[in-house]
Amino acid sequence: MACFFRRSIAAKLARTLHQPEDVFISALHAAPVSKKRESPDFRLPVSILRAKGVLPSDGDAQLQAEALANQLNQDNVVDEVSVGHGGMIAFKVHRKLLVEKMLEPFGEEDAAFGFNSELFNTLKKGKTLVEFSSPNISKKFHAGHLRSTIIGNFIANLKESLGNHVIRMNYLGDWGMQFGLLGAGFDQFGSQEKLNVNPLQHLFDVYVQVNQEAEHNQEVHLAAREFFRKLEQRDSQAMSLWQQFRDITVKEYQKVYQRLGVPFDIYSGESFHQEQAQELVQLLRTRGLLKTSQRGTGVVDLSKEGDMSSCATVLRSDGTSLYITRDIAAAIDRKEKYHFDEMIYVTDKSQQNHFQQLFRILGIMGHPWAESCRHVSFGLVQGMSTRRGEVVFLEDVLDEARARMLHNMRQAKTTKEMDDPGDTAEKVGMSALIVQDFKGPLESDYKFDWDRMLQAQGDTGVFLQYTHARLRSLMRTNSAIGAKEMDPSLLLEQRSIAILQHLLRFDEVLYQSNRDLQPRHLVNFLTKLSHLVASALRELPVKGSPHNVAQARLRLFSGACSVLASGMRILGIKPVEKM
């Protein structure tokens, strides 16, 4: 695997420069595969050695690179050392050894290719709590919550694959003034009969009606405040109605999450921390951290000078708690209950200021673990609509993706016979949604495009699924050949080498993804792998080749398929067997 070559090159550099091997491990990078010419396998920027103090920081970097390269002789691992522009030293390993070492893991059962890399030795492993999705109860699952759900699932999958104990938490929006409005609205517009028939749709209709009524009727606002006040005082009648709304919603949401293939360990919510929020307010007051603003609200001074120039409001003037109050209480409760090493919140970028205030208040309160809390933010999806018009609910998007994909599959001449075309269309449609979402930086807004998203060629989720299904079909068709035995000298063609060179980068891609929690690195890696596989399948046939050649090529394609499937699962994509 890549770590074998990285360690061998690092050892060579260590002997030459009289430094520990670990100094060079993170500095060596697998080179991107070039379409135009054969690429080296690893690159070492002299600038990193200068920054680490291994080489003098003054002087000409290009001359330093050339001088170092001249000291690095060939050996039984490195075949060639060269120098490129900008002080870049390039290493090419012996081709037969590259084939042998890279495909060696795929001859074993349950090969965890790329996940046992020494690059991960420097990563802190422990307990990671990921809070994501977090829709508001009493509403159908809005399409806007899709991004938080799939991004959070990706982060949880990635952290788990790298050896962390992950807690997946869905922190439901199940408290706040909107439930005062809904409670008051249900008294006026609600029907228990309609609630039993189509619960979330009826609650949605009630919410729309009461909001319209509130626009010109001040009494609705007063009734909403009164209902929420009763909730905070745990009035039995108000709590009974609220509990009914919550139970109905969670049951309906679980159906959507099952369809998305997104599991949760805990369904929490703001309501769990309402009483703790009141205790928190008292604690802030006792410690002199709670101030009263001119409007009568309770605030915490966040300014460094203590002049109230920057404040966070934690209490309404009527004494009721706010979202941030409950978030502070929730964070403290989670640390005490789960003893997490890091906590990651996944929400849209409009909440960046909220989380900055949250982490700042936790720090002011004397919680050093606030430094291990992180907010992963994302942009908006523009133009998401179905054939029926502007979309509101996620299920409409999933239905549309399945229907369009099913239509495309029926039109395609290459589509194979399958037991459940609808299930395959569902999985492929979902993968198309995920890859379109993950292709760019998470904080960027992007324009939703059905046609581009569902293309069978190009950098799409459909192409990933098609490539995986094609490789699985190849292995099923040639299962009698077997791929346990392999002669590395039969895989020295450039198409084979290009795939293996690309696989050298897998652990680096996982490492980078873990650093910035951006899925685009993995998406780009997998789409590039799929294009390389497509070219190799055209030029390196298994069928009709001599037995030993077929064995070797089957091992190559089996390895590519294994890595493709592993990467897809981290993204939250279920690989299909036929397509």
Residues tagged active-site: 139, 142, 145
Q: How far is CA 436 from CA 158, 307, 401, 469, 571, in A?
A: 19, 46, 12, 20, 12
Which has the closest alpha carbon to 327: 366, 375, 255?
Answer: 375
**Span between the terminal Cα atoms of the chain, in Å:** 31
User: Rounded to an integer, what distance in angstroms lies between the CA atom of residue 254 and that of residue 222?
Assistant: 34
Find the largest Cα–Cα distance for the chain.
Answer: 86
What six digits make up the tokens of 460? 């799409």
Using a 10 angstrom Cβ sphere, with 0-12 exposed, 13-18 middle and 19 or more buried, the burial of residue 512 is middle
User: Rounded to an integer, what distance in angstroms lies between the CA atom of residue 9 and that of residue 25?
Assistant: 9
User: Rounded to an integer, what distance in angstroms lies between the CA atom of residue 76 and that of residue 209?
Assistant: 76
Contacts of 209 (CB under 8 A, 6+ apart): 185, 188, 189
Residue found under tokens 């070559």: 5
User: Rounded to an integer, what distance in angstroms lies between the CA atom of residue 231 and that of residue 239?
Assistant: 6
User: Rounded to an integer, what distance in angstroms lies between the CA atom of residue 163 and that of residue 186?
Assistant: 47
User: Rounded to an integer, what distance in angstroms lies between the CA atom of residue 427 and that of residue 405?
Assistant: 9
User: Rounded to an integer, what distance in angstroms lies between the CA atom of residue 572 and that of residue 151?
Assistant: 9
Which has the closest alpha carbon to 27: 5, 1, 6, 41?
Answer: 6
User: Rounded to an integer, what distance in angstroms lies between the CA atom of residue 481 and that of residue 547?
Assistant: 7
Collapsing DSSP to helix, strand or coil, 517 comes out as: coil
Output the DSSP codes for 267-283. Answer: EEEGGGGHHHHHHHHHH
Which has the closest alpha carbon to 559: 102, 187, 22?
Answer: 102
Which has the closest alpha carbon to 551: 99, 55, 65?
Answer: 99
Opening angle at CA 497, ends 459 and 482, nearest 5: 95
Contacts of 386 (CB under 8 A, 6+ apart): 396, 397, 399, 400
Q: How far is CA 158 from CA 18, 144, 212, 351, 516, in A?
A: 36, 23, 44, 24, 12
Residue found under tokens 């006026």: 188
Letter string b/e over residues 402-418, b meaning 16 or more CB atoms within 10 A of that residue's CB: bbbbbebbeeeeebeeb
User: Rounded to an integer, what distance in angstroms lies between the CA atom of residue 181 and that of residue 95?
Assistant: 69
Q: Provide the pairing of β-strand 165-172 with 373-378.
A: unpaired
Edge-to-edge order in the sheet of strand 165-172: 266-269, 165-172, 127-131, 342-348, 373-378
